[in-house]
Amino acid sequence: MEVKSNMLRYRGPRHRVLNRIKELDAFNKVQDVCVETSPLGGTLSIIALILIFWLLYSEISYYIHSNLIFKFSPDTDLDAKLKINIDMTVAMPCALIGADILDSTNQNVFAFGELKEEDTWFELSPEQKLHFDSVRHINSYLREEYHAVSELLWRSGQSAIQGSMPPRLVEPNRAHDACRVHGSLILNKVAGNFHITVGKSLHLPRGHIHLSMLYGEESYNFSHRINRFSFGDQAPGIVYPLEGDEQYTDVPTMLYQYFIDVVPTEVDTTFSKIKTYQYSAKEHSRPINHHKGSHGMPGIFFKYDMAALKLRVSQERDNIVQFTIRLFSMIGGIYIITGFVNSLIQMVHGMFAEKTKHGKR
């Protein structure tokens, strides 16, 4: 069986077909003779495009960052653990001091870990001093202006000023005169007391004691420098008030006390989603003099307590439909205003040209 098919074939020149296809257009075009070009129109078009791109960038950035919502609610997560991060230097050799944490349950929290003690020098090298001064000045500014820059910190995703202390390039030719205490511990989420005082600690069934009677008061020096003191993991927008703090004293039996209120914080923003903690701190210092009625134990004490409320930081965005409509209306508005300005300037220019023409006559 033979099957025949009839097909239409164009036998003419192919370039004519291609030209016909190129001329096909579903949209009517304005003829070139009806379009009037001018330097003013081109300039306004360029300005309109620049303005549109700038507004688009601003609107999209605002939509991504959106509005921040700070909401307090009762903290019911009582079984959670509390992470504490410490890096500080005390102007006494490590052999003379002891660092301990005791929580409100009288549990020795060093069962969860141990802070490292490293002999060093209290005087900083030029590179280390430059680093610490920058941390201190910036963090001091953030503490003083926190009410003004908090939105900026949360929106930009900036964390508190961090960075490890750079190593010494040249070590001093003298014995170590300070101790660096640093590390992280996972604690119970209850009130506690982290302290550094004279003498190594001796743990007892209900607490511990420091063997300070083995050393004379002339060897005491509780000048200290705090490079890091925070709770939980690092998160954008949180300022840690004690970082960059530095205290000098000539009184051997000085007592430094820091009273800290820890607030559980849940961060759910564009840049991070994390559970962490922020805190506020109050400082108090006084010399210990039993003859004048100023009793106590010389040392550095950080007494922290947990807040009953937790803070949740989240972001609220507009509906995507509303955002799209706003973008299109903005672009259309710019084109309308640009055309109106162009027509107005052309009209004024024509009026002046007509007057000038009549004046010459």
Render 109-175 in DSSP notation, one character per residue. GGGG---EEEEE-SSPPHHHHHHHHHHHHHHHHHHHTHHHHHHHHHHHTPPPP--PPPPPSS--SS-
Residue 320's pLDDT is what?
Answer: 76
**What does pTM read for this prediction?**
0.68
Residue 3's pLDDT is what?
Answer: 47
DSSP state of 95: G
Out of 59-63, 113-117, 205-209, least confident range: 205-209
Residue 1's pLDDT is what?
Answer: 46
Averaged pLDDT of the chain: 79
Q: How many whole angstroms separate alpha carbon 16 and alpha carbon 223?
A: 93
Residue type at 162 in one-letter notation? Q
296-353 per-position pLDDT tens digit: 888 999 999 999 999 888 877 777 787 788 888 888 888 788 878 878 877 777 777 7
Out of 88-97, 120-129, 148-157, 214-223, least confident range: 148-157
Asked if pLDDT for residue 144 goes beyond 90, the answer is no
Confidence of residue 134 (pLDDT cuts 50, 70, 90): confident
Give percent of the chain with pLDDT exceeding 90.
Answer: 20
Q: How many whole angstroms separate alpha carbon 327 and alpha carbon 321?
A: 10
Q: Which class for 9: exposed (0-12), middle (13-18), buried (19 or more C-beta within 10 A)?
A: exposed
Let me know: does 265 contact 238? Beta carbons within 8 Å. Answer: yes
| Residue 147 half-sphere exposure toward CB, CA atoms < 13 A | 1
Mean pLDDT computed over 54-69 = 77
112-122 per-position pLDDT tens digit: 677 899 999 99
Burial state string for 267-289 with b = 16 or more CB within 10 A and e = fewer than 16: bebebbeebbbbbebeeeeeebe
Distances (CA, A) of 67 to 16, 56, 206, 269: 60, 18, 50, 10
Asked if pLDDT for residue 354 goes beyond 90, the answer is no
Residue 255's pLDDT is what?
Answer: 93
For 237, the token pair is 């927008």
